[in-house]
């Protein structure tokens, strides 16, 4: 059974050998995430090659997402690797400290002293440790420990309510973008963007490096929530990065924000990935908790394009089993997803011919109860529009561009297929599309399908034709 919701899996030590990677792809991975916060460029290049080889063996398109590190807003290192902070004790964050102890620790983010003042609240290690700022003097931030615990090397720092001035794109990110472009990745995720300008800059850097990757904005700052619509408009998609976001806005606010982000992304014809701690117990357990099952299912019902695994597949003990479990949950949740196509079309105004054809195709497919939609597309834009509304009919996107195949691997309810486009008439091209669907076992003789295509052929944005076909009835044949 085809699964509409896509699965993004992070590669790491647990999933970087060919045999495990191939099993993960067979289990349902659609996109792999390369975390540029860890590893060297040559390691990422090697993993990307492994992914492409494994995908070729399986015979399934797999996209590659490069996730940029972003600003390192972290504490430095301790002489003994960690220290225990007692409730009520005083602790100093010192930009000039090399190795920390029980009284102070250094800062990777040296400008933190300019971003906080008396009364600021700092949240360390995903909010597990809370520090109240007393005062700032030179390179030192004097704090009182409100909630203590073990603090170890390089743990992250958030300011409650946001307000840290670190730029979204660091010098390392800019170099990593060049590496990602050379690797021909399909997606680049930008960490901690605060505005649309951050995303426009990322796009410019990707294009300047010769890349064609889609940009994904990771929403994890208070400032990003305030500028959400503008950031979505400047990006190809968003990631609901619930870890850092929860620390900044409070965990209770995240579920409603998740629903709002996914809804806005779909309304603006953008992609949405839901991430962080989705199956975290499976790092060490072969089965998810009931809460995790509900979490994944709710993201599917919200309409997310993809759900993402992080440490579960990067360093967990059960990477393949985790993918299998997530796939099962997605499939089951999709059975109860509502089709609200009629109400979605009320008061709609279409300004583009290709968008009108795309939406007419899903309307027709839904009401005629056809077997499949076949969208002949160059860039994938037609398939993206079709995927924004749930019509209950799978969309098979047929393209002659290999890079479009892997990009569409992230689109909800879209199943990309590579189709060699030879010089032909429109009717011959539609015949080829029908035969490809039959050869793949997707449709059989007598099934109805909806076909969309464009003239002149081979031009992006030219979809202008909609045709309803009963398979096997065509009188033309390839010439």
Alpha carbon distance 288, 292 (integer Å):
6
Buried b (16+ CB within 10 A) or exposed e, 43-61: ebeebbebbbebbeebebb
Q: How many residues are there in the chain?
A: 479
Residue 236: DSSP 8-state: S
**DSSP codes of every residue in 237-300:** EEEEEHHHHHHHH-GGGHHHHHHHHHHHHHHTT-EEEEESSSSGGGGT-SS--HHHHHHHHHHH
Alpha carbon distance 220, 164 (integer Å):
12
From 33, 77, 242, 266, the catalytic residue: 33
218 is catalytic: yes
From 23, 77, 203, 218, the catalytic residue: 218
276 is catalytic: yes
* Angle formed at CA 303 by CA 297 and CA 304, multiple of 5 degrees: 80
33 is catalytic: yes
- E-assigned strands of 389-447? 395-399, 414-418
128 is catalytic: no
Nearest to 126 by CA among 327, 276, 298, 341: 276
Nearest to 229 by CA among 270, 201, 189: 270
The answer to whether the peptide bond before residue 455 is cis (omega within 30 degrees of 0) is: no
Contact 136, 102 (CB under 8 A): no
328 burial (CB, 10 Å; 0-12 / 13-18 / 19+) is middle
Nearest to 299 by CA among 7, 2, 1: 7
SS3 429: helix
Alpha carbon distance 30, 244 (integer Å):
25
From 5, 143, 179, 276, the catalytic residue: 276
Active-site residue set: 33, 74, 218, 276
């Amino acid at each position: 059974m085809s699964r509409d919701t896509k699965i993004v899996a992070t590669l790491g030590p647990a999933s970087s050998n060919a045999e495990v990677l191939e099993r993960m792809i067979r289990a349902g991975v659609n996109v792999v995430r390369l975390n540029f916060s860890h590893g060297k460029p040559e390691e990422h290049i090697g993993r990307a090659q492994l992914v492409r080889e494994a995908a070729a063996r399986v015979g399934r398109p797999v996209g590659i997402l490069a996730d940029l590190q972003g600003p390192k807003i972290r504490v430095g290192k301790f002489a003994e690797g960690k220290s225990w902070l007692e409730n009520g004790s005083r602790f100093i964050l010192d930009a000039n400290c090399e190795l920390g102890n029980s009284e102070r620790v250094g800062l990777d983010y040296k400008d933190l002293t300019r971003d906080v003042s008396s009364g600021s609240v700092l949240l360390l290690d995903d909010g597990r440790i809370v520090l109240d700022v007393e005062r700032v003097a030179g390179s030192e931030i004097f704090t009182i420990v409100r909630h203590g615990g073990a603090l170890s090397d390089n743990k992250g720092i958030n300011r409650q309510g946001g307000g840290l001035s670190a730029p979204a794109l660091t010098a390392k990110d800019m170099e990593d973008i060049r590496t990602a472009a050379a690797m021909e990745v399909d997606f680049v995720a930008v960490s901690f963007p605060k505005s649309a300008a951050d995303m426009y800059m990322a796009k410019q850097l990707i294009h300047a490096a010769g890349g064609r990757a889609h940009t994904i904005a990771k929403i994890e700052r208070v400032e990003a929530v305030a500028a959400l619509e503008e950031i979505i408009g400047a990006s190809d998609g968003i990631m609901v990065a619930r870890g850092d976001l929860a620390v900044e806005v409070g965990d209770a606010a995240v579920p409603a924000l998740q629903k709002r982000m996914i809804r806005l992304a779909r309304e603006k014809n953008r992609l949405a990935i839901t991430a962080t701690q989705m199956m975290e117990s499976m790092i060490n357990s072969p089965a998810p908790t009931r809460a995790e099952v509900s979490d994944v299912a709710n993201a599917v019902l919200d309409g997310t394009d993809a759900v993402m695994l992080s440490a579960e597949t990067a360093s967990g003990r059960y990477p393949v089993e985790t993918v299998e479990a997530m796939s099962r949950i997605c499939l089951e949740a999709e059975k109860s997803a509502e089709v609200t196509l009629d109400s979605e079309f009320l008061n709609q105004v279409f300004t583009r011919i290709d968008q009108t054809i795309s939406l007419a195709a899903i309307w027709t497919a839904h009401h005629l109860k056809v077997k499949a939609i076949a969208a002949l597309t160059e860039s994938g834009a037609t398939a993206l529009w079709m995927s924004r509304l749930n019509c209950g009919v799978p969309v098979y996107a047929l393209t002659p561009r290999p890079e479009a195949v892997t990009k569409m691997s992230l689109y909800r309810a879209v199943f990309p297929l590579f189709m060699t486009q030879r010089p032909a008439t429109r009717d011959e091209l539609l015949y080829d599309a029908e035969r490809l669907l039959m050869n793949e076992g997707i449709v059989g003789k007598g099934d109805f399908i909806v076909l969309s295509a464009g003239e002149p052929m081979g031009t992006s944005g030219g979809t202008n034709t909609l045709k309803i076909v009963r398979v096997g009835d065509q009188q033309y044949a390839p010439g």
